[in-house]
Amino acid sequence: MAVPQFGTREDGRDYRDRPAAFGIAQREGRIALVRIEKPRHPAWHDLPGGALDPGETAEEAVVREFGEEAGLKVAVEREYARADQYFLNTDGEAFDNRAVFFTLAVAGDAPGLKVEDDHTLVWMDPHEALAILRHDAHAWAVAAWLRLRARA
């Protein structure tokens, strides 16, 4: 199966491949998002997750990122999608996120794991999340997750 590519590649930019992992964790019909606020940039929403550290698996990365960004302890249930996304980070660096998306079980709140002060956990109806997620690949992954749930 082909991996969909999202975002627009700007001419003259070198986009580095960036292996990444993101997840969908739900509670009472809502999914976990993070609201990110950085100086000189409008706030945005992402699925929790991010780049893999050297030597780290995608499963390890998504668990670590949920703790660091959202203060949640999660367990990986399964991989359900892959998608790529061209984007520029807030420093202007160009990346092509090579993302793996997982379904996750929330094992509990873990505020001691949270280290990213510019990230705030937000629980949102998944249909509302579709409209506000920054990356098209994240919105696509939420839609794919909704379809999986509807077929289960």
Query: Is the model's pLDDT at 120 over the cut of 80?
Result: yes
Calpha distance 10→74 (Å, rounded): 36
pLDDT surpasses 90 at 21: yes
Task: Record the pTM.
Answer: 0.96
Dihedral pair phi/psi, residue 14, rounded to 5°: -100, 115
Contact yes or no for 50/34 (Cβ under 8 A): no
What is the pLDDT at residue 26?
97
The DSSP bridge partners found for residue 35 are: 45, 120
